[in-house]
Structure 1
Amino acid sequence: MTPSETGLIEAADAAAKLAGERAAEAEEERRLSEDVIAALIEAGFARHFVPAGHGGYEATFTELRQALLTLGRSCASASWCALILATSGRMAAYLPPEGQAEVWRRGPDAAIAAALVPSGTAEAAPGGWRLSGEWNFLSAVDFSDWALLCVGVPGGPSFFAVPRDAFRVKKTWFNLGMRGTGSNSVVAQDVFVPHHRSVPWSTLLQGGSEHSDAICHQTPLAAVAGPLFATPALGSARAMLRAWTGTMLAKTEGSLPPPAQQTLARAGAELDAADLVTERALDMADLGGCTPETAARNARDASLAAELTRATANRLFESGGSQAQRDTSVLQRQWRDILTSTSHAALRFDLTSGMYAKTVGA
């Protein structure tokens, strides 16, 4: 399906306007408002990668990226939650057919939150597993219909799809930035999960679905995770640069002094570079046939994009003076959001550089 057929990019504009209006509220409440989540669902983020057989779009990574950039310019937390809705749907598409049918029995817009780090325990039981434990950092989990929980089991970690009535949410999200994501914890106690609602982590990592030939379901995780995770921060940094420029022009009566001119030019160049490498990465992914070398390069480039974006945010914040440090400052919120989101494990250069070095024989 082409971008014009899904309408996600156009719908993201309306969702971004609402998210921007609610950004301060999301920051204070440490979660998005229900109307913003509803707008993200209505825009089509949850169904973006859902198999066509369940009413989804099986759409492109580049379209999602463009929509996330639009949201990020208004609210990084809304952009991040939209990213999680979309990519968690892609993860669920690797479940066996019977499991997919349960997750999307009410349609393709089921909201899914995923815990990527293994935690908890899973004991084998007749027909499946019994899960217990606590899982951290599930963005938008307060609004989720399902949770994908990662647990270490014999043979390697697996993801288990758990319905909303089988777990409880524990309020643990009290972080420096990205406060509106509501990335709280999930607690489950002796929850039975049948085999058809589980999928090995290695299957997602390799990206070779047995149930769908769509490119988005045949793409290795490393090829797309980093570029997508880098996108909300990039959108927020674009907005931060615009806000900083307006503030500086007001201070200097419309004429930036040379130091500010250099800051403006360098920030713009860094963000353009981050934009280009992430765009190329997802363009390559949408072509299909991603090799391990391509996946490793994409992950490497995403880490570089995150570093460039973070450097820009630091430079703008430092040059913003005392005004930028106020609690009410938009620059301060954007700076905190960018630092927090770019610290994600998928964007750590010490991890992605090792992956890349192995593909070139270093």
Structure 2
Amino acid sequence: MTDPLSNVLQFADEIREQAVEGERITRLTDTNAKRIREAGVIRMLQPKEFGGLESTPREFAETVMGIGAVDGSTGWVSGIVGVHPWALAFFDDDAQKDVWGQNPDVWMASPYAPMGVARPVEGGYRLTGRWLFSTGNDHCDWVMTAAMVGDDDGNPITPPRSIYVLVPKSDYTVDHDSWNVVGLRGTGSKDFSITDAFVPSHRTIESNSLLEGNAWKEKGREEPLYRFPFSCIFPLGITSSLIGIAEGTLACYLNAQRDRVAVSGVPIKDDPYVLSNIGAAAAEIAASRAAMLENVDRFWDLTNEGKEATFEQRAVGRRTQTAAAWRAVRAVDEIFARAGGNSLQLSLPLQRFWRDAHAGLAHAIHVPGSIFHASTLTEMGGDPQGPMRIMI
């Protein structure tokens, strides 16, 4: 059976070298994109009928972690773009054929935030808007994004209604100057805009159908992979890449510090204070990994038993995922603080891991407040409403 992670890791040294150029050009290099494409990483959650592997969520998470430990941006693109085939599995068959009919390795960008307006017309919608943070767009031929349904004047209707739409690259324009950031520079998470593009109805799906876990029923998909909760699978690639970045930070530190002697003249190997703190950081990263994988295994077992996760279970799962991300990045800070002044050199990779980790933590999926609130309130018998239910 195809093992995407092994396929990628045989090129680990090359990916690390290419990461430097990816930072400069603010996107994955063609070589790194080629490596994860040919390895089958982006087909892991793709339906088998369209050349996908239908891997388990745990296998996907472990693969993204492994790639993130080599290079943060390559792992980030793998985790985010890699989830989109799972979502496309719920669209009309004709939409899936539009994307994968000629080539199962076609990629889709995002984001899922409804930053545009879709005005209903005969046979579909006219779509206009500008979307931010479209990871990996340079290497994608489609975007899967969200829009608010509008009225005849292009204003969002009331009550609000959101849909996901598929748009080919010929219908949108990427702003190549929009991604000049401090971390995850190589992800190419650029803005794109659409002006009055026609989107046929078969390339749309109701957002709530996916978010609330009803899409598999409406589509008639019985495979456990597609009955898996959206609120677990969507954050999975993002947080897994972040944990991989933390693991890469630790590995980079250990490799650089083996023979280092501090200005005091004491070899790092003989400094009990440094070793103790690095050991504690390593334990925290390992705990983050274990929590993330236990979380995904728990939901996978539930799904395999034919059960649907309750809101409380999903909220607690999101709490676990979010906490794992914060724990991992705190550990990265502990490592970086003990790496010495040379760690600041842009010519060395440790500072890039540190920057990438903080950039990854800034993703909306890692905001803890409402998630921690909702999970605790639910466990106390309460019923969170409104914003407290978003992305759970």
Query: 2:172 corresponds to which letter in structure 1?
Result: F
Relative to 1, partners in 2 of residues 1:67 and 1:229: Cα closer, same or farther, differing over 3 Å?
same
Verify: 1:275 aligned to 2:289, yes or no. Answer: yes
Verify: 1:36 aligned to 2:43, yes or no. Answer: no
1:165 to 166, 170, 187: 170
Contact 1:16/1:70, CA 8 A, preserved across alignment: no
Matched residue, 2:250: 241
1:270 is paired with a residue whose SS is helix
Verify: 1:260 aligned to 2:274, yes or no. Answer: yes
Aligned pairs for 1:161-310 (under 5 A) are: 161-171=166-176, 172-208=178-214, 209=216, 210-252=219-261, 253=267, 255-287=269-301, 288=303, 289-291=307-309, 292-310=311-329
Bigger drift between 130-139 and 243-252 goes to 243-252
Residue-by-residue CA offset, 1:87-142 (whole Å, 9 max, x unaligned): 01111112122212212111321111011211022111101000111111111101
Bigger drift between 240-249 and 133-142 goes to 240-249
Matched residue, 1:77: 73
1:207 is paired with a residue whose SS is coil
Matched residue, 2:364: 345
Bigger drift between 51-60 and 21-30 goes to 51-60
- How many residue pairs match? The answer is 358
Contact 2:115/2:147, CA 8 A, preserved across alignment: yes
1:101 to 84, 88, 97: 97
Residue-by-residue CA offset, 1:295-320 (whole Å, 9 max, x unaligned): 22221111111111110111122222
2:79 is paired with a residue whose SS is helix
Query: 1:116 corresponds to which letter in structure 2?
Result: Y
TM-score, reference length from structure 1 = 0.94
Q: Distance in 1 between matches of 2:83 and 2:295?
A: 16
Work out the percentage of aligned pairs sharing the same amino acid: 25
Contact 1:113/1:139, CA 8 A, preserved across alignment: yes
The alpha carbon displacement at 1:52 in A equals 2.0
Matched residue, 1:26: 22
Query: 1:228 corresponds to which letter in structure 2?
Result: G
Matched residue, 1:333: 352
Query: 1:195 corresponds to which letter in structure 2?
Result: S
Q: Distance in 2 between matches of 1:354 and 1:106?
A: 46
The alpha carbon displacement at 1:254 in A equals 5.7
1:276 is paired with a residue whose SS is helix
Contact 1:12/1:43, CA 8 A, preserved across alignment: yes
Query: 1:190 corresponds to which letter in structure 2?
Result: D
Matched residue, 2:82: 86
2:183 is paired with a residue whose SS is coil
Query: 2:169 corresponds to which letter in structure 1?
Result: R
Bigger drift between 144-153 and 52-61 goes to 52-61
The alpha carbon displacement at 1:358 in A equals 4.3
Contact 1:118/1:157, CA 8 A, preserved across alignment: yes
1:119 is paired with a residue whose SS is strand
Verify: 1:128 aligned to 2:124, yes or no. Answer: yes
Bigger drift between 289-298 and 306-315 goes to 289-298
Matched residue, 1:119: 115
TM-score, reference length from structure 2 = 0.87
Alignment root-mean-square deviation, CA:
1.7
Relative to 1, partners in 2 of residues 1:223 and 1:294: Cα closer, same or farther, differing over 3 Å?
farther
1:188 is paired with a residue whose SS is strand
- Give ranges in structure 2 of 5+ residues lacking alignment: 150-156, 262-266, 383-392
Contact 2:252/2:350, CA 8 A, preserved across alignment: yes
Contact 2:269/2:275, CA 8 A, preserved across alignment: no
Relative to 1, partners in 2 of residues 1:17 and 1:207: Cα closer, same or farther, differing over 3 Å?
farther
